[in-house]
Amino acid sequence: MSVADWIVLVVTLVGIVLYGIWKSRGQRDMQGYFLDNQSMPWYIVLLSIIGTQASAVTFLSAPGQAYTDGMRFVQYYFGLPLAMVVLCITFVPIFHKLKVFTAYEYLEQRFDLKTRTLTSALFLVQRALSTGISIYAPSIILSSLLGWNIYLTNIIMGGLLIIYTVSGGTRAVSYTQTFQLVIIFAAMFLAGWMVVHLLPEDIGFKEALQVSGKMDKLNVIVTDFDWKDRYNIWSGLIGGFFLALSYFGTDQSQVGRYLTARSVTESRLGLLMNGLVKVPMQFLILLIGAMVFVFYLYFRAPVFFNQAQIKKVYNSEEGVAFKAVEDKYKQLATMKEQQVKEMAAAIKTGDERAIAAKKAALKETDVRSQATREEAIALIKKADPAADTNDTNYIFLHFVVNNLPKGLVGLLIAIIFLAAWGSIAAALNSLASTTVIDIYQRMFKKEETDAHYLSVSRWWTVFWGLFCIVVAQFASQLGSLIEAVNILGSLFYGVILGIFLVAFYCKRIGGSATFWAAIVSEIGVIVIYLLNIVSFLWLNAIGCFLVIIIATLFQLIGGKKRTVEVRS
């Protein structure tokens, strides 16, 4: 990066940190540290919710996902708006009326301590693992730009985030997320505009869309039903609905965002607006990836986007063979450049026969390019058996670093850091709050001062930060980060949601039946995933229904009926 890029990057990041520290001044108790004394207006709640969900993984990996697999990933979010409506009717008023710090406090009042503790533990496991992956995402940037060791970079990035979160609490997280998102949206808009602007003069946005569509990158809606297909409209609407319902209704990293609102109405407004904003936001981010694909049809793409890995191969025994494969790939890229120009010209004339012929030729060359790329990946693996051979997460980064003007590169890199800081800080804050409120305070130290619990909360934030750094060291083997995070969540979210739905609506089912049903269901979900019976989105619905059905059976077998009045 240039000096201008480094100046923009450093000024942006330092400004955010100082802003967060300034906004978080005066926190002296748990109510202020975790809930900001419930003083947030709805628009801050909205931006905080979006900022918590939209991590660096979203802005780094999603364009690469569209580049490789098209825009069908957006269907993953189709169930979210409906989930927001259900949450506003059910979960939000209950949590506000009970004046809880965490979502899991309610479960002890409804069931018992062991069910509350189990649910808290399930949350802690999946959120800590997901946060480790989120730490790895911005580490990729520093590692690629500066040639740093990725493991050392994870430690540096995680250490900065621990300091950032421990010092601020919920108020710092929420207000800095608001500022961050303004910068993020502006920068992503500029990046999208630059992709189209850098295309040949005779290719505008309309023509780029047409080319992208012919190459099957605008596959927003996939109606074919297939249990194993990860992204189609059915898995998105049904599986995505249950995932969103669990994530926003039972994951403390999100529940903690809207519990800070001034009232039930403010919480509802924040959630409903999130349902309206999230799908078009994700659509536009994926569209940038589809446009980057078109860009690399006209301008030669590298055989592998992780340039740091290529340099390692050059210096190995496989270097000569790799360069030969690279030359072959460049020749095919030159052919694609000519073929895409011919197809674009045919599209302008409207000659369907010519369009079909040019499209077939371009696709055939693209298939040959992919085969050549596989040869290159095999050589990378041979040269370095520990190498990360999935470069989806590097595609957008490569475009930004190599094609955008000075200053804008630094801003785009800054937004990926900002997105990471916002989501990871919220996650660490929620991990600490759940540990202290649901385990430490409830089971070990029940009658301590607020000052004691505040101090313990900061130390647990440090602990979870260190744990997530350890997880980040293994994240390079997980492929597409945005998929890895969502798969991990789907392994747990359905079961957690099932526990809450039993609590809300199955008043005759007691704690023991729900506790054992949750354990059996979690084992079942993991087995189904390992056997690859269905795609991961369906696991959310399966886990939820398993808990409800098994808990009902256990209650009937146990012979005891427990009628509980749910305070809502």
Predicted confidence band at 56 (pLDDT cuts at 50, 70, 90)? low
Q: Does residue 127 sit in the same domain as residue 223?
A: yes
SS3 call for 13: helix
**Model pLDDT, residue 164:** 67
pLDDT(423) > 80: no
Q: Does residue 121 sit in the same domain as residue 217?
A: yes
Does the residue 459 lie in any domain? yes
- Number of structural domains, the chain? 2
Question: Is the separation of the CB atoms in 540 and 490 below 8 Å?
Answer: yes
Does the residue 563 lie in any domain? no
Does the residue 117 lie in any domain? yes
Question: Is the separation of the CB atoms in 61 and 273 below 8 Å?
Answer: no
**Model pLDDT, residue 564:** 47
By CB atoms closer than 10 A (0-12, 13-18, 19+), residue 283 is middle
Question: Is the separation of the CB atoms in 249 and 497 below 8 Å?
Answer: yes
- Pick from 361, 387, 413: which residue ends a domain? 387
Question: Is the separation of the CB atoms in 302 and 333 below 8 Å?
Answer: no
Predicted confidence band at 176 (pLDDT cuts at 50, 70, 90)? low
SS3 call for 261: strand
Q: Does residue 458 sit in the same domain as residue 427?
A: yes
Q: Does residue 158 sit in the same domain as residue 24?
A: yes
Provide the residue range defining the domain that includes 83. 3-296+401-558
pLDDT tens column, 271-304: 888 888 888 888 998 999 999 999 999 998 899 9
**Model pLDDT, residue 565:** 45
pLDDT tens column, 365-407: 999 999 999 999 999 989 888 777 778 878 888 888 888 787 7
Question: Is the separation of the CB atoms in 235 and 318 below 8 Å?
Answer: no
Does the residue 394 lie in any domain? no
Does the residue 29 lie in any domain? yes
Tokens 């095919």, located at residue: 332
Q: Does residue 100 sit in the same domain as residue 200?
A: yes
Give the Cα separation of 80 and 232 in Å (integer).
Answer: 15
**Model pLDDT, residue 548:** 95
Give the Cα separation of 103 and 544 in Å (integer).
Answer: 17
SS (H, E, C) 297-325: HHCCCCCCCCHHHHHHHHCCCCHHHHHHH
Q: Does residue 426 sit in the same domain as residue 379?
A: no
- Across 553-567, average pLDDT: 65
Q: Does residue 85 sit in the same domain as residue 189?
A: yes
Tell which wins on pLDDT, 180 or 233.
233
* Side chain identity, residue 256: G
SS (H, E, C) 490-525: HHHHHHHHHHHHHHHHCCCCCHHHHHHHHHHHHHHH
126: alpha, beta or left, given left = phi > 0 and alpha = psi -120 to 50?
Answer: alpha
HSE-up of 538 (CA within 13 Å, CB side)?
Answer: 18
Q: Does residue 418 sit in the same domain as residue 371?
A: no
- Pick from 332, 352, 387: which residue ends a domain? 387
Q: Does residue 366 sit in the same domain as residue 431?
A: no
pLDDT tens column, 76-121: 788 889 999 998 888 888 877 877 777 788 888 888 899 999 999 9
SS3 call for 40: strand
C-alpha of 531 from chain center: 24
Q: Does residue 281 sit in the same domain as residue 347?
A: no
Q: Does residue 422 sit in the same domain as residue 317?
A: no
Does the residue 535 lie in any domain? yes
Q: What's 435's domain CATH number?
A: 1.20.1730.10
pLDDT(215) > 60: yes
**Model pLDDT, residue 566:** 46
Average pLDDT of the chain is 82
- The lowest-confidence range among 306-315, 481-490, 535-544, 554-563 is 554-563
Q: What is the reported pTM?
A: 0.77
Give the Cα separation of 244 and 420 in Å (integer).
Answer: 20
Q: Does residue 358 sit in the same domain as residue 250?
A: no
Does the residue 568 lie in any domain? no
SS3 call for 266: helix
pLDDT tens column, 432-448: 888 888 888 888 877 77
- Pick from 331, 354, 387: which residue ends a domain? 387
Does the residue 396 lie in any domain? no
- Across 44-66, average pLDDT: 73
